[in-house]
């Protein structure tokens, strides 16, 4: 058995013993079992599935984050996560909420970069010698 903890900035969403964990990183899906070596991986927005000690499978929709396995403890740290038993509903959460949020974040970063470039351009114009 492993102890899985899924942590967000606001709560510990999962803290229970599990027999198996399936997750997805930038290079694709992977599976962790209790006797696997220690592991650390970036996570992409998607579904983390885990099998509890009684054999039942549970799913958590996660945003970008990090998974770290050390010994029999697996920590997943993400900005946002939603737990549920209905895989279709959780997949919709990932598609509509998490990925949409990423698009808005990219747009905001782009706007900030344009503002910074404008400030720098104006600053340089002020430093040009007057003729």
Q: Is residue 15 part of a domain?
A: yes
Number of domains present in the structure of the chain: 1
Query: Quick one: how many helices (H) and strands (E) in the chain?
Result: 2, 9
Tally Cβ neighbours within 10 Å of residue 47.
Answer: 18
Q: Is residue 130 part of a domain?
A: no
CATH at 8:
2.60.15.10
Q: Is residue 44 part of a domain?
A: yes
Range of the domain at 105: 2-120
Report pLDDT digits (tens) over 13-55.
999 999 999 999 999 999 999 999 999 999 998 889 999 989 9
Q: Is 51 helix (H, G, I), strand (E, B) or coil?
A: strand
Contact 67, 10 (CB under 8 A): no
Q: How far apart are CA 25 and CA 28, in angstroms?
A: 5
Report the chain's terminal Cα–Cα distance, integer Å. Answer: 76
Average pLDDT of the segment spanning 55-81: 93
């Amino acid at each position: 058995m492993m102890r899985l903890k899924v942590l967000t900035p606001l709560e510990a969403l999962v803290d229970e013993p599990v027999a198996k964990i399936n997750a997805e990183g930038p290079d694709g899906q992977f599976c962790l079992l209790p006797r696997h070596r220690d592991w650390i991986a970036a996570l992409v927005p998607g579904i983390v599935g885990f099998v509890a000690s009684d054999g039942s499978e549970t799913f958590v929709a996660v945003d970008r984050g990090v998974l770290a396995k050390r010994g029999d403890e697996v920590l997943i740290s993400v900005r946002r996560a939603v737990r549920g038993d209905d895989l279709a509903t959780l997949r919709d959460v990932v598609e509509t909420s998490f990925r949409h949020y990423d698009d808005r974040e990219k747009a905001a970063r782009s706007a900030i970069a344009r503002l910074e470039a404008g400030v720098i351009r104006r600053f340089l114009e002020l430093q040009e010698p007057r003729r």
